[in-house]
Amino acid sequence: MINIFKRNIKIKIISICFAFFAWIYVMAEVDPILIKDFNNVAVKITNIDVLQDSNMVIDPKSNLNVKVMLRGRRSLLKDIQKSNLNIYGKFENIKLGENELDLNIDVPNNVTYTIIPDKLVLNVEENMYVRKYIELDKINKLKEDFKISNMNINPEYTYVEGPRSLVKKVDRLVCKVNLKNKFKNFNAKIQIVPLDKYGKKVEGVNIKDKYAYVSVEVLKTKEVPLKINLTGDLDENYKLLGYELEPKNITISGPNEYIDNIKELYVEDFDISGLNEDKSVDLKINIPEKIQTEIKKVNLKINVSKIISKNFIISKNRIVFKGDIHNLDISKNNLPDNIKVKVAYLEDLEEKIKEEDIQLFINMQENEGNHAKFKIKYSMPYDVENVEIEPKYVVIE
């Protein structure tokens, strides 16, 4: 009996060992031990409210991702995905500057893990909150002959929040308004962009209002001539030489339906009565309703000259007979010995006109109905206002 029992013990031990190795073999084949890697797994900070309470913020350039390696049976790892990994850390004795964060992970029993790195070094800064006005930057151009009259933005300002070092970089807040081929009023919802002094976008700051609402008033432009009505009359002995408006043309702007109907604009009337010298005066432009112009006044320059009358005595011997005399005896005429000539001229000729400048002549080809009656004419090297000759005619017998 004892021998039989001993033989059974040996058989049992052998059976147990065989079963153990068989189990190991089966487990190795059916449920093997695996290593599973996860990259860029986000770390959660469990006491992030401590930062907020202390008016602090993590430098946005800080890397809050780690690599995780899990080791365990296939049956334990098969349902673990990156999305359900819970890696967390907690600030201890938080301060401005560098802070170490020890990391932990929740995994099933019999699963081992490695976190790379096993702790994070995070830079903590003061959280800054400042108000800034929003500027409008125009990009591209309106359709030709149109211009912007007014631009409104709502809100006019907003707040920039973030790490002090980054908020300090924000030079201005900008909405970029695209004007390409616009020719009428328009509204737009435009993103607010923080820019540094070099015009580059500042990343890592928060803008309280992400967008602004911009309204743009667009007007048509047109160049038109200016005109004036001169009223009254100069005194008899004065002459209006001319006048000039400066500028002669102006650019106006307004709604299409108004601009298209305007061909010219008038300035206020000017009375020249009693004017006896050159005049320069500023006058208002008569600007219609709904029409805009940067120029509100123009300058009117008026040139006036006094007319001087002077009498000259010309000997009849200086009269020249031109053309075919038709067998007439020109010596037999009714001319007096001296011809009276009254010349009216502008005052700037006062020192120039001399008696010898006046040439009297008779064109024998031009009789006055009567073949023996001719008009006495004159020629001068200057333009004059009027010439009166006495007598006007000569009769040749």
* Per-residue three-class SS string for 228-247: CCEECCCCCCEEEEEEEEEC
Asked which of 2-6, 52-56, 306-310 is least confident by mean pLDDT, the reply is 2-6
The string of pLDDT tens digits covering residues 317-344 is: 898 888 776 677 777 888 899 999 999 9
Tell me yes or no: is domain 307-395 CATH 2.60.120.10. Answer: no
Give the CA-trace dihedral at 162, 164, 168, 174, to 10 degrees.
0
Can you tell me whether residue 335 is helix, strand or coil? coil
CA distance 254 to 289: 9
Tell me yes or no: is domain 222-306 CATH 2.170.120.40. Answer: yes
DSSP tally for the chain: helices H, then strands E:
5, 27
CA distance 15 to 11: 6
Asked which of 118-127, 129-138, 193-202, 239-248 is least confident by mean pLDDT, the reply is 118-127
* Domain layout of the chain by residue ranges: 1-28, 31-219, 222-306, 307-395
Q: Is 45 exposed, middle or buried (0-12, 13-18, 19+ CB in 10 A)?
A: middle
For range 281-304, the mean pLDDT:
94
Contact by Cβ (8 Å): 67, 90: no
DSSP per-residue string spanning 19-87: HHHHHHHHHHHHS-EEEEEEEEEEEEETTHHHHHHTTEEE-TTS--EEEEEEEEEHHHHTT--GGG--E
The string of pLDDT tens digits covering residues 357-386 is: 899 998 888 776 666 888 999 999 999 999
The string of pLDDT tens digits covering residues 24-45 is: 555 555 578 888 888 998 899 8
pLDDT of 15 reads 65
Q: Identical fold at 31-219 and 307-395?
A: yes
The string of pLDDT tens digits covering residues 204-222 is: 999 999 999 999 999 999 9
Pairing of strands 211-227, 146-154: antiparallel
CA distance 250 to 226: 7
265: pLDDT strictly greater than 90: yes
CA separation, residue 160 to residues 56, 61, 93, 177 (Å): 15, 18, 28, 21
Record the pTM. Answer: 0.59
Which are the contacts of 63, defined by CB distance < 8 A and separation ≥ 6? 120
- Name the CATH code of domain 31-219 (choices 3.30.479.30, 3.30.70.100, 2.170.120.30, 3.90.120.10): 2.170.120.30
Give the confidence band of 17 by pLDDT, cuts at 50, 70, 90.
low
* pLDDT, averaged across the chain: 88
DSSP per-residue string spanning 110-167: T-EEEEESSEEEEEEEEEEEEEEEEEEEEES-PPTTEEEEEEEEESSEEEEEEEHHHH
